């Protein structure tokens, strides 16, 4: 920016209108912080929107020329089961004798796949799958990805499809419980 600019910054949470998001999940407390980088490479607070338990929060601010850091934030304190929710004992594999998986299992896997499909091409490349692996505390080389993932689960030559990702999770569930 070469001149002062008025911007609106928003943080939005998914709700039941988004595929695979359950209506019973409550909103997190969310806020926004805008920091400006100073010449000595430190930061100073420009503005903030305090925490609110809402679907979205917005902050309108005028920014002078410079470099900024915008942070979405939450304490995570509202990330818990609603007090009026019924107790559930979910069996991920249904006891119907057919090996049917619970809809919650499949919707969760679909949501994880969607979050890691950064290129939105309906498959996870090595880089995207490695990012997923790092989140679960595992390392993965490109050779391991090709030999142990692409060759074993439904994939294209470039990445794991959703069906392959679901197969990967089902295999893990059956192996590790």
pTM to 2 decimals? 0.56
Please check whether residue 146 is in contact with residue 137, taking contact to mean a CB–CB distance below 8 angstroms: no
Q: H/E element holding 169?
A: helix 162-176
Q: How far apart are CA 56 and CA 33, in angstroms?
A: 14
Q: What is the pLDDT of residues 33-56, one digit of tens each?
A: 999 999 888 899 999 999 888 889
CA–CA separation, 140 and 127 (whole Å): 10
Candidates 5, 14, 16, 13; CA nearest to 32 is 13
Which residue segments constitute the domains of the chain, with CATH numbers given? 5-74 (no CATH), 103-176 (1.10.238.10)
**Interior/surface letters 107-143, b for 16+ CB within 10 angstroms, e for the rest:** eebebbbeebbeeeeebbbbebbbebbeeeeeebeee
Q: pLDDT band at 130, cuts 50/70/90?
A: very high
Q: Convert the pLDDT of each residue in 51-66 to its tens digit.
A: 888 889 999 999 999 9
pLDDT recorded at residue 115? 85
In this prediction, residue 88 carries a pLDDT of: 64
């Amino acid at each position: 920016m070469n001149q002062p600019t008025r911007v609106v910054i928003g943080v939005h949470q998914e709700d039941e209108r988004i595929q695979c998001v359950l209506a019973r999940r409550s909103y997190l407390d969310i806020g926004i912080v805008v920091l400006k980088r100073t010449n000595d490479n430190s930061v100073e607070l420009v503005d903030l929107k305090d925490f609110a338990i809402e679907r979205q929060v917005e902050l309108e601010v005028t920014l002078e020329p410079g470099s900024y850091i915008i942070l979405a934030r939450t304490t995570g304190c509202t990330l818990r089961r609603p007090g009026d929710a019924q107790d559930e004992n979910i069996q991920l594999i249904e006891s119907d004798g057919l090996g049917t998986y619970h809809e919650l299992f499949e919707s969760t896997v679909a949501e994880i796949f969607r979050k890691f499909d950064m290129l939105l091409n309906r498959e996870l490349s090595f880089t995207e799958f490695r990012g997923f692996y790092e989140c679960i505390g595992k390392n993965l080389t490109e050779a391991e990805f090709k030999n142990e993932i692409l060759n074993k689960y439904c994939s294209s030559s470039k990445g794991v499809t959703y069906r392959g990702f679901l197969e990967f999770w089902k295999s893990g569930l059956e192996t590790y419980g």
